[in-house]
Each structure stands twice: as structure tokens, then as C-alpha cells.
Structure 1
Amino acid sequence: MSIATTMKNSTAIAIGGFDGMHIGHQHLFAELGEHGTIVVIETGYANITPKEERENFSHYPILYLELDEIRHLDGDAFISLLKSEFPKLKKIVVGYDFHFGKDRKYSFEDLKTLFSGEVKVVEEVTLEGDSIHSHKIRAKVKIGDIKGANDFLGHNYTIMGALVAGQGIGKKELVATINIEATGFLTPKEGVYVTLTRIDDEEHYHPSVSFVGHRVTTDGSFAIESHILDGEVICNKKARISFVSFIRDNKKFDSIAELKKAIKSDINIASQKLKLLQL
């Protein structure tokens, strides 16, 4: 079914930025019912789940509205826009901190006045007493707290990128890796991670260990590279790396031999942690 047909038949929408599609956002989506649509206000700042990446974390269709194209609207014009896009609209779901319209002057209270249907306001969602927000997830990713970020997300932090050439010594002197350029995604703290890697359009993820950072022991260039643990695979165009946990910081080694020894240890750690997850 096309997005246009879905919108025509949708009776409920959830509105927000939804960068991360985290467990707080999922509480909004849970209010949509059978004929729901997610409306993303695209600010251009989303880097946890940029652009259509959000579609991997919900079964609901998504309509994208560019903030620059709607930010000038007053409250009545905003509601008119929604009604024109969703002629059967009966319910709007927003978070407690939702604002809209010119200079963000309107809140959910105004939405209740302006919209004749139901307005469902989802209260703040917390985990172990800590409120869940996209900016907190970004902060956790930046410091390498992948477990904390994943707990807030409700899924593994994942980046996707096009295949790029490596430095050329991995397969010969170290280990074979898949190298990507993940444009638009927030880059985790430099270091080595337990990961799962999906190759091209495969449906399953391979156990892997991944490096993010500058190759300080060799040529100093920046890289995002993943070594597949269950056998060598061929990547043709792209890969998706799903971060499970942090292993260690990026470090400069005195020799290629020392680096190779560290990589072997990283592989052992990743293998053991992934095996425990499968139990």
C-alpha cells in the first residue's frame, strides 16, 4: 500500500522528531492503533536514525515534513495541513514536551483547543528513574556507553554506510575487514566494539568486531571497519553495523605485531560476549 493511500485511510498520527525511535517514542506509537501513521518533523539534525533509517524501527508508515517548510505556520494553518494530509484524522498523539508552529509558540494545550478530535499526550518515559531523550542517547554514544545507549533505544545503536577501500594491509598483515563511510550518522567514541554486521541486502547479521577511529599505529587515517567472525564474506556495496558493547579505547601500538596481538584479543572478547548473548 502506498504512503498516499495509507495517509488517506489513517485515523491517528504521532508527531515528533523521532531521532532514535527510542523506547520513549515507542510509547507514542503504541497509541496509534491499527490505522496509524508516524509524522516526522525533519529538522536536519537527526543523526541516530537519520532520514529513512527510522523506518527500520517501526511497522507504521512514516510521513516526513521538513521543518523549514512548516515552521512559519500558525496553529490553525498547521492543523489545516494535517487535515489535508489525513482526511480521516481523529486522533493526534504527541509527547509532553511537544511544541509546534512559528517560534514553537504552540504546545499540546493549544493542540487540544485547535483540533476537534482526540489529543493524546504521552507523559515522560523513564528508565530506572532517568528520563529518555535523544540528546542523552547521543551523549552516551559519544563516550562509548553503548550499553546505556542501547537500553534507552530499546535496540542496538546501528549505523549504515557505503563500502569504501581500506588501507590495504588488513587482509595481508592483520585481519580482513569491511570498511564503510557512514555519512549522516553519529560516530561512536573511537575504539573497538563488539558488533553485529549486516552485508549488503542480507537479512541476517554476522557476529563481528569493529573499529571506529584513526589508525594511529599505521597511516593515521580515520576508519570504520568491521571484521566478520563467522568466516570471510564478500561485501559489494554497503554494510550495517550494530553496536553491542564497548571493548577498549583506540590505542597506538609500537609495532604491527603488537597491533595484531591486540586484535586477536579483541576477537576473542567479542566472540565470547556474542556467544553469551545467544545462550
Structure 2
Amino acid sequence: MKIIQLSYDEKNPISGLSLCLGFFDGMHRAHQKLFDLTIINAKKLNVPSGIMTFSTHILSFLKQEHFRALSTVEDKIQMAEKLGFDYFFILVVSKNLLSMPAVQFVNRYLLDAAHVVVGYDYTFGYKGEGTPELLEQLLPRKISIIPCLNFYGKKVGSTRIRSLLEAGKIPLANRLLNRPYQIQGHVVSGHGRGRQLGYPTANLSVDGYFIPKEGVYYTKALINQKLVDSMTSIGTNPTFSEDDLKVETHLLDYSDRLYGQDITILFYEYLRKIKRFSSGSELVDQLHQDEDNIRKISWSKEE
């Protein structure tokens, strides 16, 4: 898959594509409807397939806020490659790009496409003036609009998934994503308390990701292309009077050194809230219970 970054004054260099457009935060179940149709159209028309997205969230750019993503650009690239796309286009968000009239946006990036797929609520161009209906006018006979996808009577979307993650409702969030929610982090040094307690943890720097509800989770760690059962803590450490929010994970049945590596954490179940223990030994007792619960869940999923 070829990755192409485009600024506001660069024309799409690839013509004749089956192309889908969107921000695609989470690459969730509804987005996958667009991806599937784009690849089907590419095969039907015998043309390459492509995804076109933005370098950052537009509202966050306008408000100068740090965006916490369900999936980073790097995540999207990895998923798109697994799906079999030929091209991945990144539109670099800038004031000039956001000032571009919708018709100019179409002429610059979409006019030479063989087919275009968007969601029913996709907007583009200056102040979001471009709509799927406008695309139908400007790109007759080569535009497909995917309708709203509902799951359990509610729209599948990034906002709903974020709310579920904030509530610790991981299984339902994963069903909307059609995969386990995951974050990738770099292992950094910590205080070493976990090792002293018999539960060494990898302390993760996870800048840029949306972080689920504080608590302890059953997770799996992807490291060196291998999935390992793990328990992950998100929150402070009140037992030792530490107030900084941390993401740290303990890998079960794994003893190799992790410091300095990048690992991916996949979330499966919320186990319990973070709480203060009266002593280190009481905390260890709880960690033993957490480990037992994780092993039971893991075994039940394998049956």
C-alpha cells in the first residue's frame, strides 16, 4: 500500500481510483461498510482502491485542542493495509484546506476518481458546506452513499463508542468496533513497585489515544507479534499516594524485558475500580484475585 500526503494546493496524483472518504476515527463497524464497498467497486471496475482521510480532527484543529483518538493515523494505515487497500491519502489539515470551497475540493481531489464512497453524514469544504447530496450533483453515476448503521437501536459512531469506553462497557464498545479496542504505547521507566510486589508492570506512554474509564482490565498485550494475557491498570496509585494518571500492564506468564519497546494493549473486560489498600500485602491479595479472574475469563473464551 502506498501512502500519499497531500497539502491544500496539491492535486490528487492518482486517477481512476475507487475511493472512500472520512475521518474514520475508530475504523469501526459503520466505517467498515464503506471500506467493503470501496474494495468491491475496485474489483468490479478493475481499478486501484484508496482511503482518503485527514491528518487530524478538524474541530480540534480549529479549537487548538489536543485530540484523543480512538485510532491514530498510524493505526488507520495498518488497518487499511490489512484490508487490502492500494493507496492511503492523508489530507494535511490547515487553515487553507478548511477555507477551500466544496466544489474546489471535489475538483482537486475527487474529479478523476472512478468511484467515490462516503457516509450519509460526510461533510467537506469551507464550513462543511459540501454534502453527499452535492457529490451526487458533481459526480453523477459514480458516487455511493452509505446510510446510517444502527446497532441495538442506536447509531454506530465514534461518539457512542467513546461513551461506552468511558463507562467501562468494553464488550459492547468492541462489538461496535468489530474488534477489541486497542492503544499502542512505549514502555517507559516507573517506580518498580510492581516488581517488588511480585507483579512487574510495563508503564506505557500512550500520548494521543482516548483512554477508557479508570480501573483494572482484562487485556491482551501484542508484543513481537504474539498475544499475551495481561491485566492493565488505568488510574492513579492511591495506596502509595501517587496522583498521576498512569497506564500500566502486567503480562501473565511472560518474563522478557519490555523497557523501551512499543506494545499494543487490547481491551476485553473491565474488572474493578481503582481503590486504596491499607497495605502492600492487601494490594497483593487483590492482584492475586485479579489474576485468577483473568485466567478464568481467558479459559472460558478458549472453550
TM-score by length of 1: 0.92
Flag structure 2 segments of 5+ consecutive residues without an equivalent: 5-11, 43-47, 58-66
Deviation of residue 22 (structure 1)?
A: 0.1
In 2, distance between residues paired with 1:204 and 1:7? 38
Structure 1 runs (4+) greater than 4 angstroms displaced: none
Q: Quote the residue 1:72 is aligned against.
A: 99
Q: Quote the residue 1:104 is aligned against.
A: 128
Q: Quote the residue 2:285 is aligned against.
A: 261
Deviation of residue 83 (structure 1)?
A: 4.1
1:40 aligns with 2:46: no
Q: Secondary structure at the match of 1:20?
A: coil
1:251 aligns with 2:275: yes
In 2, distance between residues paired with 1:106 and 1:24? 21
The alignment-based identity, stated in percent, is 26
In 1, distance between residues paired with 2:77 and 2:68? 14
2:245 to 201, 211, 222: 222
Question: Which 10-residue stretch deviates more, 231-240 or 27-36?
Answer: 231-240
- Over 3 Å counting, the alpha-carbon distance change for 1:82 and 1:214 in structure 2 is same
Say whether the 8 Å CA contact 1:15–1:41 is kept in structure 2: no
TM-score by length of 2: 0.85
One-letter identity of the residue aligned with 1:50: T
One-letter identity of the residue aligned with 2:179: H
In 2, distance between residues paired with 1:231 and 1:119? 50
Deviation of residue 255 (structure 1)?
A: 0.8
In 2, distance between residues paired with 1:36 and 1:46? 28
1:130 aligns with 2:154: yes
Question: Which 10-residue stretch deviates more, 52-61 or 156-165?
Answer: 52-61
Q: Secondary structure at the match of 1:120?
A: strand
In 1, distance between residues paired with 2:250 and 2:68? 28
Q: Secondary structure at the match of 1:31?
A: helix
Q: Quote the residue 2:2 is aligned against.
A: 2
Question: Which 10-residue stretch deviates more, 18-27 or 229-238?
Answer: 229-238
Say whether the 8 Å CA contact 1:21–1:153 is kept in structure 2: yes
In 2, distance between residues paired with 1:142 and 1:53? 21
Deviation of residue 50 (structure 1)?
A: 1.7
Say whether the 8 Å CA contact 1:10–1:36 is kept in structure 2: no
Q: Quote the residue 2:180 is aligned against.
A: 156
In 2, distance between residues paired with 1:207 and 1:275? 11
Question: Which 10-residue stretch deviates more, 116-125 or 44-53?
Answer: 44-53
1:11 aligns with 2:17: yes
- Over 3 Å counting, the alpha-carbon distance change for 1:46 and 1:250 in structure 2 is closer
One-letter identity of the residue aligned with 1:222: L
Question: Which 10-residue stretch deviates more, 216-225 or 247-256?
Answer: 216-225
Equivalent positions of 1:130-279 (< 5 A) are 130-199=154-223, 202-220=224-242, 221-235=244-258, 236-279=260-303
Question: Which 10-residue stretch deviates more, 167-176 or 251-260?
Answer: 167-176
Q: Quote the residue 1:82 is aligned against.
A: 109
In 2, distance between residues paired with 1:36 and 1:56? 15
- Deviations 1:21-68 (Å, cap 9, x if unpaired)? 000000001111242111112333351002211123332242111333
In 2, distance between residues paired with 1:135 and 1:261? 37
Q: Secondary structure at the match of 1:270?
A: helix
Q: Quote the residue 2:32 is aligned against.
A: 26
Say whether the 8 Å CA contact 2:50–2:89 is kept in structure 1: yes
CA RMSD of aligned residues (A): 1.9
Q: Secondary structure at the match of 1:226?
A: strand
Say whether the 8 Å CA contact 1:176–1:232 is kept in structure 2: no
In 2, distance between residues paired with 1:24 and 1:131? 9
In 2, distance between residues paired with 1:30 and 1:2? 19
Q: Quote the residue 1:63 is aligned against.
A: 89
Q: Quote the residue 2:8 is aligned against.
A: none
One-letter identity of the residue aligned with 2:274: N
Deviation of residue 205 (structure 1)?
A: 1.2
Flag structure 1 segments of 5+ consecutive residues without an equivalent: none
